[in-house]
Amino acid sequence: LAKTTQPISMDSYEGQEVNITCSHNNIATNDYITWYQQFPSQGPRFIIQGYKTKVTNEVASLFIPADRKSSTLSLPRVSLSDTAVYYCLVGINQAGTALIFGKGTTLSVSS
């Protein structure tokens, strides 16, 4: 069961690029890496998912090194509205069910 470790919090300013790194040393061969975003009092929202190398969509990029023991979510030119909690998820829980959400990284963007 892959456990993830990510920073509790990060601070940034508008217009900057933000990189949030997640460690997952015990990732299994068939595990995907998924990132979600959650605003206060709302449900999490899918951002991006990848298996290896680099994935990019209209919101973010996900960088995964060859050993897949870590991943980095990159948010280009953040704005105040990117202030949220970001969760890194890998694999499934022991019952073979839903993804495991840890405490996430609280990103605070200031002007």
Q: Least distance from C-beta 70 to other proteins, angstroms?
A: 19
Residue closer to other proteins (CB basis): 30 or 111 = 30
Residue closer to other proteins (CB basis): 11 or 14 = 11
3-state secondary structure of 33: strand
Q: Which two tokens stand for residue 6?
A: 């990510």
3-state secondary structure of 11: strand
Of the candidate spans 12-20, 61-69, 73-81, 98-106, the one that interacts with other proteins by CB under 8 A turns out to be: 98-106
Q: Which residues of 29-51 are buried (b: 16+ CB within 10 A; e: fewer)?
A: eebebbbbbbeeeeebeebbebe
User: Considering only residues 58, 96, 110, 111, which one is a binding residue for other proteins as defined by CB under 8 A?
Assistant: 96
Q: Least distance from C-beta 106 to other proteins, angstroms?
A: 9
